[in-house]
Amino acid sequence: MQLLKDKIISDGIVKAGGVLKVDSFLNHQIDIPLYNEMGKEFARLFKGQEITKILTIEASGIGIACIAAQYFNVPVVFAKKMQSKNLDGEIYTSQVHSFTHGKDYTIRVSKKFISKADRVLIIDDFLANGKALIGLINILEQAGATLVGAGIAIEKGFQEGGRALREQGINIQSLAIIKEMDENKIVFKD
């Protein structure tokens, strides 16, 4: 998606350790017209797939998922990272290793909100090693729900997640795939 690529080039900052900082438009301050265009693009890419729910993970996925959901007309469910007294009843849990924080955490989704009748699109801001996606897919497997695919804003194609998950047959659509990046340049796959 050219608009997103242009924004990454103009406002993205490459940090040490292969981290792309996009907090001026994607995951701290949010560019709403850009989010809207991303939502429309996800709707175009997954058109006709009879999606019943969008699943994402807090915190950065929530905004993207909510704006996109308006174009699918379905609810958004987000996996919680924090244990909370409000998260009562039965829950699905899965372990995720965080790329940006370098530690493991548990994600939780109430069994009330995902069932085997659901056809689910996962949406997230980044795909790096694929651990967040694997954790969300694991929750869908526990629920017996159907995974339609994953819509990702920025995929770091030089990390292994996208290739490994596509090899498993998962339909991953990324709006911008970075082939390589360093402090001086960011190169997209196409």
Q: Select 42 or 99, whichever has its Cβ closest to ligand 5GP.
A: 99
Phi then psi for 82, rounded to 5 degrees?
A: -100, 140
* Contact partners, residue 166, CB within 8 Å, separation at least 6: 172
CA distance 178 to 137: 23
The stretch among 2-10, 44-52, 118-126, 142-150 that binds ligand 5GP (CB under 6 A) is 118-126
Measuring CA to CA, how many Å separate 89 from each of 14, 51, 92?
42, 26, 10
- Shortest CB 60 distance to ligand 5GP, Å: 5
- Shortest CB 89 distance to ligand 5GP, Å: 26
Q: How many residues of this chain bind ligand 5GP (CB under 6 A)?
A: 18
The stretch among 18-26, 33-41, 67-75, 109-117 that binds ligand 5GP (CB under 6 A) is 18-26
- Shortest CB 137 distance to ligand 5GP, Å: 11
Does position 162 interact with ligand 5GP (CB under 6 A)? The reply is: no
The stretch among 43-51, 77-85, 103-111, 124-132 that binds ligand 5GP (CB under 6 A) is 124-132
Selected from 12, 77, 161, 176, the binder of ligand 5GP by CB under 6 A is 161
Q: Select 130 or 149, whichever has its Cβ closest to ligand 5GP.
A: 130
User: Which residues of the chain form contacts with ligand 5GP (CB under 6 A)?
Assistant: 19-20, 22, 27, 60, 99-100, 124-132, 156, 161
